[in-house]
Amino acid sequence: MKELVIISGKGGTGKTSIMAAFAALAKNKVLCDADVDAADLHLITAPRLKERHDFQGGHRAIINQDKCTQCGICQDLCRWNAVSDDFEIDFIECEGCGVCVYLCPEKAIDFPLNTCGEWFISDTGFGPMVHARLGIAEENSGKLVSLVRTKAKELADEKKLDLILTDGPPGVGCPVIAAVGGASGVLIITEPTVSGKHDMERVVRLAAHFKVPAMVCVNKFDLNLDQTHAIEEFAKENNVTVLGRIPFDTIFTKSMVKGQNIFDYDLKSETGQVVKQIWGETCKTLGI
């Protein structure tokens, strides 16, 4: 079984649009949306929900007013200023560190496990899909990313499918680390801007640190050819495979508005043929 994780150093590079296009081209696969902080692959794949499960992560402090003597120790200790003047916990400010719980002299603060999201198994027109949704202002440390990847692997084993296509989160933080570890390869979608190149370089180093083979694709390459050349030079200098270039094309926006991938929107578009070629190069590189 192979797992391809599609990531980007920054948001807005077109990662999910290309992931959705690959979903239409790949065979015998499970789709996995590991971008749980801002999951949006479901907007294009129209999943039919089969299973729904709660996700629990971290703890939430709750002051028991029957036991609280309003001594103020919790207010003094809380560096996040999450304890109000009337000794209620502000759940938005609370980081769940537990210092108030452990040092309250009256043991008046409960610390239950926090239900902060949901994860799902669905059917789509492109195959089974594992995805998730975090609650508003809930923190994602990478635990939910690891969970959806694990469930995708279990589903692939169960259905005897040999590929997992994972839409990873942007950046280089804990969610990205949880998304790339142990993958067969990562495809970095970047764009020809100063910030796009800078953040692509960071995620290339991250993949190298975890010894995960990296590939690069430049989306909207024709907006700045100098930056495109600079990105490709950096990739070659760091032994990163350059799979190709995708031109700027409003077909991505138009198909997104319709809730479709680019092949459902226009099967014969020139940009679609470029994406097909890049998918073919991806398969060759990974040995799919």
- Any idea what DSSP says for residue 38? G
Q: Is the pLDDT of residue 141 over 80?
A: no
- Reading the block at residue 75, the tokens are 């207010």
Q: What is the pLDDT, as a whole number, of residue 114?
A: 87
* pLDDT tens figures, 95-122: 889 999 999 999 999 999 888 899 999 9
Q: Is the pLDDT of residue 58 over 90?
A: no
- Reading the block at residue 143, the tokens are 């635990």
| pLDDT bracket for residue 225 (50, 70, 90) | very high
Mean pLDDT of the chain: 94
Is residue 241 within 8 A of residue 217, CB to CB? The reply is: no
Rg (CA), the chain: 22
Domains and CATH numbers, the chain: 2-56+117-286 (3.40.50.300), 61-111 (3.30.70.20)
| pLDDT bracket for residue 57 (50, 70, 90) | confident
- Residue 163 β-bridge partners: 2, 29
| pLDDT bracket for residue 84 (50, 70, 90) | very high
In sequence order, what DSSP letters do the residues of 160-227 get, joined into one string? Answer: T--EEEEEEEESSSHHHHHHHTT-SEEEEEE-SSHHHHHHHHHHHHHHHHTT--EEEEEETGGG-HHH
- Reading the block at residue 16, the tokens are 């999910």
* pLDDT tens figures, 164-216: 999 999 999 999 999 999 999 999 999 999 999 999 999 999 999 999 999 99
127: Cβ contacts below 8 Å, ≥ 6 apart: 23, 28, 29, 30, 31, 161
Q: What is the mean predicted confidence (pLDDT) over 18-42?
A: 95
* pLDDT tens figures, 44-55: 999 999 999 999
Q: What is the pLDDT, as a whole number, of residue 266?
A: 94
* pLDDT tens figures, 85-99: 999 999 889 988 999
pTM across the whole model: 0.89
